[in-house]
Amino acid sequence: MVSELNNRIDRRFAKLRSEGRKALVTYIVAGDGGLENTVELMHQLVASGSDLIELGVPFSDPMAEGPVIQKGHERALEQKASLRKCLELLKEFRSRDEETPVILMGYANPIEKMGAEAFADALKEAGGDGALTVDLPAEEAGPLNDLLNARELRNIFLLTPTTSDERIAQITKLASGFVYYVSLKGVTGAGHLDLDSVRDNLARIRCHTNLPLCVGFGIKDGASAKAVSADGDGAVVGSVLVAAVGDSADGAAAKDRIGGIVAEMRSALDG
Amino acid sequence: MTKPSSPIDFGAYPDARGHFGEFGGRFVSETLISALDELQEMYQRLKNDADFQAAFDYDLAHYVGRPSPLYLAERLTESAGGAKIWLKREDLNHTGAHKVNNTVGQALLAKHSGKKRVIAETGAGQHGVATATVAARLGLKCAVYMGAEDVKRQSPNVYRMKLLGAEVIPVESGSKTLKDAMNEAMRDWVTNVDDTFYIIGTVAGPHPYPQLVRDFNSIIGREARRQSLEQFGQLPDALVACVGGGSNAIGLFHPFLGDESVKMYGVEAGGDGLETGRHAAPLNDGVPGILHGNRTYLMEDEDGQIIETHSVSAGLDYPGVGPEHAWLHDIGRVDYVTANDDEALTAFRTLTRKEGIIPALESSHAVAYGLKLAATMRPDQNIVVNLSGRGDKDIFTVAAIDGIEV
Ligand SMILES: Cc1ncc(COP(=O)(O)O)c(C=O)c1O
C-alpha cells in the first residue's frame, strides 16, 4: 500500500471526503490560448473552485478527443507547446500554489520519446502529482506504473461502460489517486450522457475499489456535474473549458470565461 | 542489427498480447479493449474453422479471381540485365489491388459478428474502394474516412466509393491525410462500437489487426511459393515489395520467412530523397514510438509529435509501419530500402512500355528497386516483385507531372 498522504491527490480527496464535498476536476490544454497565459488560467481554475487540474499535453494525433479538444491541441501545437513545456509550466504554477494537485493528461508517444523514467523524474521534479495516459491501457501500463509508484506519483486509469468486471478488478489493482470513469462510449465532448448507466457502472466499480471515482465526458454545466457526481466522488469537465479558451480573444477574456464556468459548477456541486 | 542464432518460428508471432518482440501491442483507450478482445476471440476461433476457411477460399477464387498469375517479365528482365524478374500480379484482382484479399476476409468476420455497419480509413482510396465493394456485396452500411487533402487528390476513387453506396467522410483535422483518417475512424469506432465493425486497411492498428490483415494477405506468398516451384523449380532468390503500412509486403514475405535462402526487400517511399527529410520511410529514418494502437517505427519530431510525410504515392504516405516489419527490421530478416519519387516514376514508365502493364505508383517503388537489384544478380537467379496494384488510379497524377490535363 502506498502511504496515503504523501501525495496532493490523496490529501485533496481525504479533505473533500471529510467535508462531505464532491471534487471538481478541470481540464485545459497546456499552451492553448497562449503559452504565456496557461499558468494564469490554472490559477484561475483554482480560484473559481477547481480541486484538481488535469493539464492536457498536446499531441499531433489525439485519438480519443472530439472536435473541440482536438482544436485545443492544434492551437497549443501552433504555440510550440510540448511535454517539456508542460512540465515547465507546471513548475511555474507550483511556485505559487503548493496545494492543488495537478496531473498531466495526454498520449503515450511524447512520454515514449522522452523516456518513461526521465518523464517520471521530471514530473516529480516539476511538482506534478500524477499522470493519465489515454492510450496506455492496463496491459501496456506496467513499466510506467512502477516508475510513478516509486516516486509517490499516482497513475490515473480510465474505466468505461465497456470495461468488464474482470478488467475492473485488474485495472483497479494498478490504479492510484482516483479512478476516472468515462460516462459514455465516445470521444470527449460527446453529448449522450445516460445517468442510469453511470449509476449502475459506478456501483459495479465500487465493488472493486475504495479509490475516489470521478466521472467525465459529456459534462457541460453545473446541473450535469451535480448529476454525475451524485453517485461518485467528483466530476471532470474539459470540452466546455477548452471551447471557452478557444473562443476568447485574449488571455484576460479566457480567464473570465473559464472562471465563470468553473464557479457555476462549483456552486452547483456544493449546493 | 543482430542476426538471431537459432531459427525463429515466425508463425508463433505475435504473442498472445500481440507483440512482435518489443513492437505491436494494444495502445488504445479503454473503451475499445472489449471490442478488440471480442474480435481476437472470434478470429482465433474462425481461423481454424474449416467452414470459415472454405468460405474465404471460395470468395478469393470466384469473387477476387485468384490465384493471381506469377508472370515472367522478359523485356523488363532484359532491360535490367541480370536476374529474372517475376511479377506477382495482384493488379489483376477485382478492384485492382491486393487490398481486397483483406477486405474479403474482414467482411466475413463482420458477417459473423452480426454488426450491420462497417467503417474504414483510406489514403489513396484503394482500401476504401475494396471495403465499399465488400459492403455492397453483403448489404452492409459503409462509411469511409478520408483526409480532405486525399479527397481532392483522388477524386475518381471517391466517386467509385459513392457509386458503391458508401458514405465518404472528408477529415479536416491535423494534416488531413491518411493518419488523420485513421484517427477519425478510431473515434467513430469508439462511439459506435456496439454495431460497427472497423475494417483496417493495413497491418497496423492494435492487436489483433496486424495479425489478421497479414493472415488474409498471406495468400499472396503461399501462391507465389507454389508457383515458383512449379514455374522455375526452386524458391526465389529474392522478394521485393513496397511498404506503406506493409500489408502487401508481409503478405508476400510471411510464407517465406523460414526459408533462409530467400532474401527479402521492403521498399519504403523515399519521396524527395532520404537526406531531404521529405519522405515516408520510418524504418530507414524514423524511431520507435506509439501511434494508432501499436508500438512501431514512426516519423516524429524531438517532442514525439508525428510529422508530415511526403510521397508521390498516396498509399505509401504514412508516418508509421506495421509492427511486424519493425521487428523483422530489427532482427535483420528483411532489408528495408527506399525508392525515391523520381525512381518510382521512371519504373512506372518502364514497366508500362516494356510489358504493357500500368502499375500503381505504390507498386512502382517495388519495381524500381527490383530493377536495381536484378542488375546486381546472375541471370540464373530469380526475383519475385509484388505488383500490388494497377495504375489506372494514378494516371491523373502522372499526367499532372507531365503537364498534361486528362
Ligand atoms: C496498390 C497499393 N500498393 C500498396 C499500398 C500500400 O499499402 P501496404 O503497404 O499496406 O501494402 C497501397 C495502399 O493504398 C496500394 O493501393
Closest in B25, B192, B291 to A109, CB measured: B291
Angle at which helices A251-270 and A222-229 pack, to 10 degrees?
40
ipTM of the complex: 0.95
Q: Which residues of B touch A (CB under 8 A)?
A: 17, 25-35, 173-174, 179-180, 183, 186-187, 190-194, 287-293, 295, 298, 300, 302-307
- pLDDT confidence band for B66 (50 / 70 / 90): very high
Given B84, B88, B99, B176, the catalytic residue? B99
Task: Give yes or no for residue B96 CB within 6 A of ligand 1.
Answer: no
Q: What is the pLDDT of residue B124?
A: 86
Residue B111 a catalytic site member: no
**Chain B neighbors of A84, CB-CB under 8 A:** 303
Nearest CA to ligand 1 atom 12: B315
Q: What is the pLDDT of residue B3?
A: 55
Average pLDDT on A51-68 reads 96
Report the C-alpha gap between B256 and B226 in whole angstroms. 11
Q: What is the pLDDT of residue A193?
A: 84
**Chain A neighbors of B192, CB-CB under 8 A:** 185
Predicted confidence (pLDDT) per residue in B163-189, tens digit:
999 999 999 988 898 999 999 999 999
Predicted confidence (pLDDT) per residue in B13-61, tens digit:
999 999 999 999 999 999 999 999 999 999 999 999 999 999 999 999 9
* Minimum-distance ligand 1 atom for the alpha carbon of B244: 9
| Polymer length in residues for chain A | 271
In terms of pTM, does the model score above 0.90? Answer: yes
For residue A79, is it within any domain?
A: yes
Residue B4 has pLDDT above 80, yes or no: no
- The strand pairing partners of A28, in sequence order, are A55
For residue A1, is it within any domain?
A: no
**Interchain CB distance below 8 Å, A140 and B26:** yes
Task: Give yes or no for residue B269 CB within 6 A of ligand 1.
Answer: no
Q: What is the pLDDT of residue B7?
A: 87
Q: What is the pLDDT of residue B13?
A: 97
Residue A2 has pLDDT above 60, yes or no: no
Task: Give yes or no for residue B248 CB within 6 A of ligand 1.
Answer: yes
- Full residue range of the structural domain in which residue A115 is found: 8-270
Cell of B392: 489506372
For residue A2, is it within any domain?
A: no
- Side by side, the strands of the sheet bearing B335-340 are B70-72, B84-89, B382-387, B238-242, B263-271, B335-340
For residue B404, the tally of other CB atoms under 10 A from its CB is 10
Q: What is the pLDDT of residue A3?
A: 45
Task: Give yes or no for residue B131 CB within 6 A of ligand 1.
Answer: no
Predicted confidence (pLDDT) per residue in A33-54, tens digit:
999 999 999 999 999 999 999 9
Interface list for A 65-104 with B (CB within 8 A)? 65-67, 70, 74, 77, 82-84
Q: What is the pLDDT of residue A189?
A: 83
Q: Would you call A144 an interface residue with chain B, using a CB distance cutoff of 8 Å?
A: no
Given B90, B121, B268, B324, the catalytic residue? B121
Predicted confidence (pLDDT) per residue in A100-142, tens digit:
999 999 999 999 999 999 999 999 999 999 999 999 999 999 9
| B229 Cα to chain A: minimum distance (Å) | 43
Task: Give yes or no for residue B321 CB within 6 A of ligand 1.
Answer: no
**Interchain CB distance below 8 Å, A162 and B34:** yes
Helices (H), ranges, A133-250: 138-150, 165-174, 195-206, 222-229, 239-247
Closest CA to A247 of A236, A260, A265: A260
Average pLDDT on A55-77 reads 96
Predicted confidence (pLDDT) per residue in B123-170, tens digit:
989 999 999 999 999 999 999 999 998 998 788 899 999 999 999 999
Residue B357 has pLDDT above 70, yes or no: yes
Q: Say whether B60 sits in a helix, a strand or coil.
A: helix
Helix, strand, coil abundance in chain B, percent, nearest 5: 50, 20, 30
Residues 6+ apart with CB under 8 A from A129: A7, A8, A9, A101, A102, A103, A153, A154, A177
Average pLDDT on A10-26 reads 97
**Residue-range domains of chain B with CATH:** 18-60+99-213 (3.40.50.1100), 64-97+218-401 (3.40.50.1100)
Task: Give yes or no for residue B200 CB within 6 A of ligand 1.
Answer: no
Q: What is the pLDDT of residue A34?
A: 97
Tally of domains within chain A: 1
- CB contact at 8 A, B306 and A113: no
Average pLDDT on A79-101 reads 98
* Minimum-distance ligand 1 atom for the alpha carbon of B97: 1
Q: What is the pLDDT of residue B2?
A: 54
Q: What is the pLDDT of residue B152?
A: 86
**Interchain CB distance below 8 Å, A60 and B190:** no
**Interchain CB distance below 8 Å, A135 and B33:** no
Q: Quick one: closest CA in B to A139, which residue?
A: B26
Q: Exposed, middle or buried, A3 (CB in 10 Å: 0-12/13-18/19+)?
A: exposed
Report the C-alpha gap between A235 and A215 in whole angstroms. 5
Residue B398 has pLDDT above 90, yes or no: yes
For residue A150, the tally of other CB atoms under 10 A from its CB is 11
* Minimum-distance ligand 1 atom for the alpha carbon of B201: 10
**Interchain CB distance below 8 Å, B303 and A139:** no
Q: Exposed, middle or buried, A213 (CB in 10 Å: 0-12/13-18/19+)?
A: buried
Predicted confidence (pLDDT) per residue in B252-283, tens digit:
999 999 999 999 999 999 999 999 999 999 99
Q: What is the pLDDT of residue B11?
A: 95
User: If you measure from the C-alpha of residue B156 to the centroid of ligand 1, how many angstroms do you get, rounded to a whole number?
Assistant: 17
How many A/B residue pairs have CB atoms within 8 Å? 119
Residue B293 has pLDDT above 60, yes or no: yes
Q: What is the pLDDT of residue A186?
A: 87
Give the CATH number of the domain where residue A164 resides.
3.20.20.70
Q: Would you call A218 an interface residue with chain B, using a CB distance cutoff of 8 Å?
A: no
- pLDDT confidence band for B5 (50 / 70 / 90): low
Q: What is the pLDDT of residue A1?
A: 40
Positive/negative CA dihedral, B152, B158, B162, B168: negative
Residue B99 a catalytic site member: yes
Chain mean pLDDT for chain B: 96
* Minimum-distance ligand 1 atom for the alpha carbon of B360: 1
Phi, psi of B328, rounded to the nearest 5 degrees:
-60, -30
| B206 Cα to chain A: minimum distance (Å) | 11
Q: Would you call A110 an interface residue with chain B, using a CB distance cutoff of 8 Å?
A: yes
N-to-C CA span, chain B: 47
